[in-house]
Amino acid sequence: MKKIKYPASKDWPKLLRRPSQPVEEIEQTVKEIFSEVRTKKDVALKKYTNLFDGVELETLQVSKSVLKSAKTGIDPSLAAAIHTAKENIIKFHEVQRSGALSVETMPGVNCWQIKRPIQKVGLYIPGGSAPLFSTVLMLAVPAMLAGCEEIVLCTPPGSGGQVDPAILYTADLCGIEKVYTIGGIQAIAALTFGTETIPAVYKIFGPGNQFVTAAKQYATKFGLAIDMPAGPSELLVFADDSARPDFIAADLLSQAEHGPDSQVILVSTSEEMLDEVAREVDLQMAVLPRKEIATKAIENSKLILVENSEIALQLINDYGPEHFIVNSRDEGFFIDNIQNAGSVFVGPYSPESAGDYASGTNHTLPTNGYARQYSGVTLDSFLKSISFQQISCDGLKSLGPVVEIMAEAEGLQAHRNAVSIRLKQIAKNE
């Protein structure tokens, strides 16, 4: 990991730049695949699955019998762990419910708001080298709680053409019946346009690599909504000299092993802490099964020495990390003042892994600095608010002249007339 001492604020944007491929190159690939999926549908999906995943698929949908039998393919202790995680995620998202809001803005003018579920949602679950069954929980649980009518799950096939049993078991546990063995850009295109097999949806959820992120953003050009830009994983840790270097190193590596395009950053007011963590990273990484992946991610990562906590906070808010861990004597300062972060982990015994799996918070979070303007997935992500108003005769008598004056000022005579015709009728009736 590269160590940088006391960087000037003008150098922060370059220093904190995320590793990524040229956007133009990715966008061109996305456009080509979207175009072909739109016209050739399932044929295109099978073609690109063979090209990118090396798998020839006969059918795209996972049968109900395979879903139901997935439990036999996983260890009972894993099944129990998934159950516990699910219950915690339910608890955290259940308390996010809010009832209808109602207010009389002036006598006779009643306004209220009601939340309704998004009817059709698509869940993208990354697979490949690390099948993320935990993401099924993070997306399916709030979708079910929200009451979404149609939930479509897409996940790439493994080398044998099958979906990891833990993903299937978790999907079945969450009541999802529409599971498709398709991943990458082609999965996002299928959810956007629909094919002979896969239904189109209204909103797409789920993390992914740079290609999936670009595909989700491209899907918005066709009337789709997405949860957020959620690409390669990232973690920023602030640790002063009270932290344990081995804990910090373990946290950094937990994100580095996600993929070679992941980024981890340690910010500290102690140079000794930076050096000790660097040594621990080397020691712990040497025995990781995913050492090769973690090593590439660590090459994109930084150790940053700053003068004090105030400067550290400014840098962190500028970066807007997906995950932020704070190990400091003055943790309250960071809790009270952090503005831009997807999810925050406070204290030495709050590893980021807990949020990834089972504490209850959602791990689908904005990356690439989007934490400055996006939230992570919540129950509300699967709901939309509809506003209502009902105005009585007396209410319109009070409100109507206000609307008439404003419509007149904007030059919208028909708007004024819609009020005036009613006021004349009210006056006539009286």
CB-neighbour burial class of residue 371 (10 A; exposed 0-12, middle 13-18, buried 19+): buried
List the catalytic residue out of 276, 323, 352, 363.
323
Chain CA centroid to CA 145, Å: 17
Q: What is the DSSP string of 32-96?
A: HHHHHHHHHTHHHHHHHHHHHH----S-SBPPHHHHHHGGGGS-HHHHHHHHHHHHHHHHHHHTT
Catalytic-role residue among 257, 322, 331, 352: 322
Give the Cα separation of 314 and 329 in Å (integer).
18
The residue type of 13 is P
CA distances from 23 to 20, 210, 215, 400 (A): 8, 9, 11, 51
Q: Residue 304, SS3?
A: strand
Pull the structure tokens for residue 94.
């259940």
Q: Find the radius of gyration of the CA atoms of the chain.
A: 25
Whether 322 sits among the annotated catalytic residues: the reply is: yes
Residue 363 annotated among the catalytic residues of the structure: no
Angle, helices 271-285 vs 291-299, to 10°: value is 150
Report, as residue numbers or ranges, the catalytic residues. Answer: 322-323
